[in-house]
A and B are shown apart, each in its own frame.
Chain A
């Protein structure tokens, strides 16, 4: 969406933003002041879909000067150091952690904060010498990340192998209870030892991280990848140029039948989004000079050839519920067989178009843009009518096993990421085996990504990122808070009631 000159003063005089948040917001407003019809050659039709809220460009801006998500290969730092920053390869844990913190400051993204900060366990493992002393350093490092990168889309990966460093990281995140960094264990039951997985499951319950990703499945779809930002699976040493999303709950409004949606309106909007992505990538690659100027490229942390683009959707539940009502059925997405059929028919149209569209500068993913189940945002009134991703609306969730079996087949479409979240009751803390059984069952049924958390903790996963409920409410009352994601968490809860997810006891 384009910005207005008046947005500038609104930001400058805001009582709810920190200095740093104002600075980044002003930069974002500047990017959106320019007319994309002129700078990117958007057609009037493409522009119409942005203005009528059917396509949301997540306010990425039109003067694009960096990829949305950057997934550096931090192992380059271990082997070569960094010339641009005058860093030698680290020789001990102190040097490693110091160099990483320096490097993070120079990794751009859509939020200007790094969305991937490395395989922390494997980066640290060669330097672990004294468990107790190293633990203090690791904990201090993680706390530094939380305060210096005030954006919960900042994501670290661990696993699938068990490491001493990985265990120390798990211990530290439980003790710190910080929202940042977000964290994933790339889990493979044939590689990850059960004791390590159980420790991760415990941390996931207590502090909502690490989430579990189905490493086998993602590896077979994407090869060498990492989980970044919310739960985005992207090529390692590359990333994603851009992520616009189809607001399915908005697109559906006014159609008179499922057939009209599938054969007319949805293909038109979907094709428009594909061509908008083409134009965005071309500008970034051919005009912005990002790949010519970034030391990350020159020194091998990232390669242009490892980038792809993400094809987002949001609001599947709302679109399906609209059609169910049209068909005269008193059923809701999540507990309706017909609803699932409608959901799959919608996603099939989108994935067929995405998979036949010849993308640009995406050789790493066979010149295809990757479907992504976007978790929602609060950028428009329309976002009240667009439930995150393909998720079941909060309050309409079926019992846990039925929920997982309903969700897993939808995970299949979303090669660049999706996930489901389950709030568990306190009893699971004593039964971590049971938590792991549920996660393994979900993966066996085709799920890509699962998070669990205790329903009564302050730190929870909103949609893909973490916030403290107390911080989100503070931000919602108009107070300036450290993280830009605090206000997002408030907005998303206001729309999707994510703080009130069904609490699972006895699998219900």
Chain B
């Protein structure tokens, strides 16, 4: 059977998903659920409950026996459907074959330096993406994976081999279940493994108070990264813009001060990380 995957959306030109101008593919499906998730509509597959259909103001959503039909041409991207969905999904996600994605990428190849797969958690689609990367590389494009680090190394060994670099979002080290709703704990081990293979482009951590042990997480990562001077460590101050109301309630009092984030950046530099970027 042909390899297929559900894609939440494709950004043809992205300047925030790795070096240079890149095409970013956001795969549907995630293995964790973070308090501050800014795109919760990527977490689950659509279950065809149809709750979104009647609320669509532009008539871009219709029902059929197989589920929701989405008409891209009519859609105004008002995001009403995403706000309506109670199941952390999106009726706008589409199924693609490797060949279909390849054609889109080939169309944009002159303008981009590479592609970055993100999500959701893209390593859940490791097999599909491995095949995609093998097709895309002969175009002279680099292939990056943006992951939360929670994956089984054995299961995705093919993807690790095919990818040029990973961007690893280290959410937390202790009490991960409170922040991310998961019992998995192998993110740091996986980060170390990828670093040893020289497969890491950048590491990120979103800083939120109380839900994570900020200093332990950041300083542990920093003490690992100091051995890898080429790897960027990006610190992001959590923000509430665009969050759902129930998320905002949880996050709004947990935003660290800009000054505190700057101090953390300094400490991380002191530990020995060369490339520190702050997004405040």
Q: Please give the residue numbers on chain A whose beta carbons come within 8 Å of chain B beta carbons, in ascending order.
A: 399-401, 404, 427-428, 430-431, 433-438, 440-442, 444-445, 504, 506-508
Contact = CB atoms under 8 A, between A and B. Distances in A.
B16 interface: yes
B20 A434 contact: yes
Contact of A427 (B11, B15, B20): B15
A400 B21 CA distance: 12
A428 B107 CA distance: 22
Interface string B244-278: 00000000000000000000000000000000000
B21 A437 contact: yes
- Which 10 residue pairs across A and B have the least CB separation, nearest first? A507-B13, A441-B111, A437-B21, A431-B15, A434-B15, A434-B21, A441-B110, A433-B20, A507-B12, A444-B110
Given A433-B21, A434-B21, A437-B113, A401 B15 contact: no
Contacts of A504: 13
Contacts, number: 59
Contacts of A404: 111
A215 B251 CA distance: 52
A401 B20 contact: no
A404 B12 CA distance: 13
Contacts of B12: 399-401, 506-508
B20 A507 contact: no
Interface of B: 11-16, 19-22, 107-108, 110-113
Given A434-B20, A437-B20, A437-B21, A442 B111 contact: yes
Given A433-B20, A441-B110, A442-B111, A428 B13 contact: no
A508 B23 CA distance: 12
A437 B113 CA distance: 7
B165 to A, nearest CB: 15
A507 B110 contact: no
B112 A437 contact: yes
A506 B111 contact: no
A506 B112 contact: no
Contacts of B11: 506-507
B16 A438 contact: no
A406 to B, nearest CB: 13
A506 B13 contact: yes
Contacts of A438: 13, 21, 111
A1 B113 CA distance: 50
Given A428-B15, A506-B13, A507-B14, A445 B20 contact: no
A506 B116 CA distance: 13
Contacts of B19: 433
Contacts of B108: 401
A401 B111 contact: yes
A437 B22 CA distance: 9
A405 to B, nearest CB: 8
B111 A437 contact: yes
10 contacts: A431-B15, A431-B16, A431-B21, A433-B19, A434-B20, A434-B21, A441-B112, A445-B110, A506-B15, A507-B21
A483 B208 CA distance: 52
Given A431-B16, A441-B111, 7 more contacts: A427-B16, A431-B15, A431-B21, A433-B113, A434-B20, A438-B21, A507-B21
Nearest to A443: B110
